[in-house]
Amino acid sequence: MKMSQNTPDKEDQSSTNKKNISLPISRVRLIMKSSPDVSSINQDALFLTTKATELFVQHLAVASFNNGPGKATNSLSYTDLANTAEEMETFHFLTGELGCRLYRPAGTVMFSASSSLRWCVLL
Amino acid sequence: MDGDSSTTDASQLGISGEFVASGQYVFQSQDDDGEENLNDHDDGGIKENFREQDIYLPIANVARIMKNAVPQTGKIAKDAKECVQECVSEFISFITSEASERCHQEKRKTINGEDILFAMSTLGFDMYVEPLKLYLQKFREAMKGEKGIPGVPGGDGLGDELTEDNFTNPLPAGIITADGQQQNVMVYTTSYQQVQPHTTRPDDTFLGGNLLQCPPKRLRLCCRSPPCSRSSFHDKALPLNTWPDDL
């Protein structure tokens, strides 16, 4: 069985390095299209989102690493991430995502709905 | 600019798994073969078969970016990697829905780069905007370099005329189309009277010549499995519109 997709791999890698991407664009597009009411996505938008995602991963990793006790232990754990999401406003949208696994102090409830972009904290 | 996202390879739709190669810029959804396939799905209507929260970027790529970001000797817990993987999908959806909303407000159908950048500033990621503009510039230059002379279409791979002589030779893969994306397609013909290039699926195993032995009635089956050897149908003119339904 011939798989033509494999042959230009080397070309892809060298050209991809020029474009500075280390995440699969096709997968990013899939995720974008899973949002409601998204009909089509411009090439630039796709690239920007992919690149922004890389920046986001770096940003989140570094912020969490520096923020939590992990800095002392030189490791990054789940709780570091969860704490960072709660403490930094930029990452508040993640609290719903992270929340289901995080033990909450009594009396605090958080949720977020990503598609409606609303979140609230009830005390 | 956004084409049909249907994929022809089942393994491309795997959810997680080890994906170590750099991102490929391809027209059809394509990922490394090493991915695992966690969900059942059809070839068409991919979107409908996955719940939004199930689509993640490959954890190997995400983990690699994280690793490069923290100090060299730092360790990253496995659940932290998985967590970031999910957060990333959340982030993409977050940005996309904001950009999409703006798009609709302005009565446009295609989300463009400006929408994405605007969404980021609105949502508190304005620190990304300037670096992203620079990256976009580099990206455009890289794309232009691939196309050759700017403004010249990169070639319309699927529109090439094929003759009988091409029958035995598949067209080369990696055809670059006008919008700069690389299409990895194998183009086969299934008729020697008139040719219609089409994108094939990886399990099409017949290559030229063999087709002549396929009876017209069973043409569809022969497209998918090793060709049958019914030479009695050899000389019959094949009907032209005998493509499998799902192509």
The residue among A7 and A92 whose pLDDT is bigger is A92
In whole angstroms, give the CA distance from residue B80 to residue A29: 24
Segment B147-191, tens digit of pLDDT: 765 544 444 444 444 444 444 444 444 444 444 454 444 545 454
B134: Cβ contacts below 8 Å, ≥ 6 apart: none
pTM of the model: 0.53
pLDDT of residue B144: 86
Contact status of B93 with chain A (Cβ, < 8 Å): yes
> What would the two tokens of residue B239 be?
């009907």
Say if residue B46's pLDDT is above 60.
Answer: no
A27: Cβ contacts below 8 Å, ≥ 6 apart: B29, B31, B55, B57, B58
**A58 and B68 in contact by Cβ < 8 A?**
yes
Could you tell me which chain B residue has the CA closest to the CA of A24? B23
**Residues B203-219, mean pLDDT to the nearest whole number:** 46
The residue among B229 and A121 whose pLDDT is bigger is B229
Which H, E and C letters describe B116-143, residue by residue? HHHHHHHCCCHHHHHHHHHHHHHHHHHH
Say if residue B61's pLDDT is above 90.
Answer: yes
From B22, B94, B115, residue closest to A22, measured CB to CB: B22
pLDDT of residue A74: 81
Contact status of A6 with chain B (Cβ, < 8 Å): yes
Partners of B143 on chain A (C-beta within 8 Å) are 19
Contact status of A35 with chain B (Cβ, < 8 Å): yes
Is residue A95 a contact partner of residue A110, using CB atoms and an 8 Å limit? Answer: yes
What are the domain boundaries of chain A?
23-104+116-122
| ipTM of the modeled complex | 0.71
Partners of B125 on chain A (C-beta within 8 Å) are 52, 56, 90
Q: Is A3 exposed, middle or buried (0-12, 13-18, 19+ CB in 10 A)?
A: middle
Which class would CATH give A23-104+116-122?
mainly alpha
From the candidates A7, A16, A30, which should be mutated to test the interface with B, based on the most B CB atoms within 10 A? A30
Residues 126..185 of B with a Cβ closer than 8 Å to A: which?
A: 128, 131-132, 135-136, 138-140, 142-143, 145-146, 170, 173-174, 179-182, 184-185
Segment A31-83, tens digit of pLDDT: 999 988 898 999 999 999 999 999 999 999 999 888 776 667 788 888 888 88
Mean pLDDT of chain A: 73
